[in-house]
């Protein structure tokens, strides 16, 4: 989820904690738990700072180690080590329990996005992404804001947020049902599909679709339960050629391949260099596929320039690569 949603989730969990008799009976415990749930709902995303280095490192690591099983156990201890000295009268066990809940819920809700997490590490590096909730879901955010306002106006926080979480569970189940209907419709249109990726958008009734069969890629959208195929591409396996093998060693393309499950590729040869481009098919926007990895190599197959990330025009891509178009 986005940062704002994680913040309001932390506040909601802190309010829910007042149903815990130990928390309710101690001002120090209640205050420290509220702070801890807000911080705990944020701390797994500290890896966002990796974006300051470069996109390749960010793509490879965001929602990786910081969202793993060991991290879920470690983060509460880090928070307690910093927070507890300021609240020595707080009940340490209950403070830890609610802090752990905040960290766990952060990682858990991220699984429902299309991006997903590597929550199964160290047992598996597989990305777990259920693809039913957009990274920012305005309905989820609004539900939290309404509940927080009701609390501020004087309602009991524990029961207010208990009811709110019950509503959210129903909303998540509704999203699963809607995704299932979209999947059934795609299977009717592409009965020979070997893989289907359905991703939510910020619009409740609209979904992105990327599918593949043995010989084709399909890109489409779903509105309600109506499916429209927007693009079809012949599925050409990536050949084992010297140029492509050299390109795969580039950190930007390697990061792209570690993240993207469905893509097509292109290769162009110029007078003084080769250009290899991999295009993620999950993020079609206004007829354009903005998430790409591009590697340029000289005629000796040495990397000259490369980039991975989001670009919405060829001109901007050339600026990222710092070259003049041929």
DSSP annotation string for 247-281: HHTSHHHHHHHHH-SSEEEEEEE-SSEEEEEEEES
Q: What is the pLDDT of residues 263-306, one digit of tens each?
A: 999 999 998 899 999 999 999 988 889 999 999 999 999 999 99
Say if 108 falls within a structural domain. Answer: yes
Say if 61 falls within a structural domain. Answer: yes
What pairing do the DSSP bridges indicate for beta strands 206-212 and 195-200?
antiparallel
Q: What is the mean pLDDT of the chain?
A: 92
Of the three residues 149, 174, 199, the one that is the final residue of a domain is: 174
32 and 168 belong to one structural domain: yes
166 and 21 belong to one structural domain: yes
13 and 121 belong to one structural domain: yes
Q: How many domains does the chain have?
A: 2
Say if 237 falls within a structural domain. Answer: no
Q: What is the pLDDT of residues 124-177, one digit of tens each?
A: 888 889 999 999 999 999 999 999 999 999 999 999 999 999 999 999 999 999
246 and 135 belong to one structural domain: no
Of the three residues 123, 152, 174, the one that is the final residue of a domain is: 174
159 and 281 belong to one structural domain: no
What is the distance between the alpha carbons of residues 82 and 224, in angstroms, rounded to a whole number? 48
Say if 205 falls within a structural domain. Answer: no
Say if 314 falls within a structural domain. Answer: yes
Say if 22 falls within a structural domain. Answer: yes
Say if 212 falls within a structural domain. Answer: no
Q: What is the pLDDT of residues 200-243, one digit of tens each?
A: 999 999 999 999 999 999 999 999 879 999 999 999 999 999 99
Domain of 317, in residue numbers: 242-321
pLDDT value of position 52: 66
Q: How far apart are the first and last CA of the chain?
A: 40
169 and 246 belong to one structural domain: no
pLDDT value of position 325: 42
Average pLDDT over residues 76-91: 96
Of the three residues 121, 145, 174, the one that is the final residue of a domain is: 174
């Amino acid at each position: 989820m986005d940062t704002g949603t994680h913040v309001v989730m932390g506040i909601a969990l802190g309010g829910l904690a007042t149903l815990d008799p130990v928390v309710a009976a101690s001002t120090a415990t209640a205050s420290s738990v509220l702070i801890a749930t807000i911080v705990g709902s944020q701390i797994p995303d500290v890896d966002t700072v990796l974006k300051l280095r470069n996109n390749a490192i960010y793509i490879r690591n965001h929602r990786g180690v910081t969202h793993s099983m060991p991290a879920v156990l470690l983060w509460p201890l880090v928070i307690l080590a910093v927070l507890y000295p300021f609240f020595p009268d707080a009940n340490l066990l209950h403070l830890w329990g609610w802090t752990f809940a905040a960290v766990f819920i952060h990682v858990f809700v991220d699984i429902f996005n299309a991006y997903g997490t590597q929550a199964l590490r160290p047992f598996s590096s597989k990305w777990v992404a259920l693809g039913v909730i957009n990274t920012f879901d305005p309905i989820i955010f609004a539900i939290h804001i309404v509940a927080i306002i009701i609390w501020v106006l004087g309602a009991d926080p524990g029961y207010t947020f208990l009811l709110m979480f019950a509503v959210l569970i129903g909303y998540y189940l509704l999203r699963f049902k809607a995704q299932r209907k979209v999947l059934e419709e795609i299977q009717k249109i592409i009965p020979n599909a070997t893989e289907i990726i359905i991703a939510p958008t910020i619009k409740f009734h609209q979904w992105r679709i990327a599918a593949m069969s043995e010989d084709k890629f399909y890109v489409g959208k779903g509105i309600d339960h109506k499916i429209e195929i927007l693009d079809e591409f012949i599925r050409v396996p990536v050949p084992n050629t010297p140029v492509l093998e050299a390109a795969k060693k580039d950190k930007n393309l390697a990061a792209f391949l570690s993240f993207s499950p469905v893509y097509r590729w292109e290769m162009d040869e110029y007078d003084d260099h080769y250009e290899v481009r991999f295009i993620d098919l999950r993020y079609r926007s206004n007829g354009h596929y903005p998430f790409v990895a591009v590697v340029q190599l000289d005629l000796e197959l040495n990397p000259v320039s490369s980039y991975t990330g989001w670009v919405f025009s060829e001109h901007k891509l050339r600026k990222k690569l710092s070259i003049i178009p041929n």
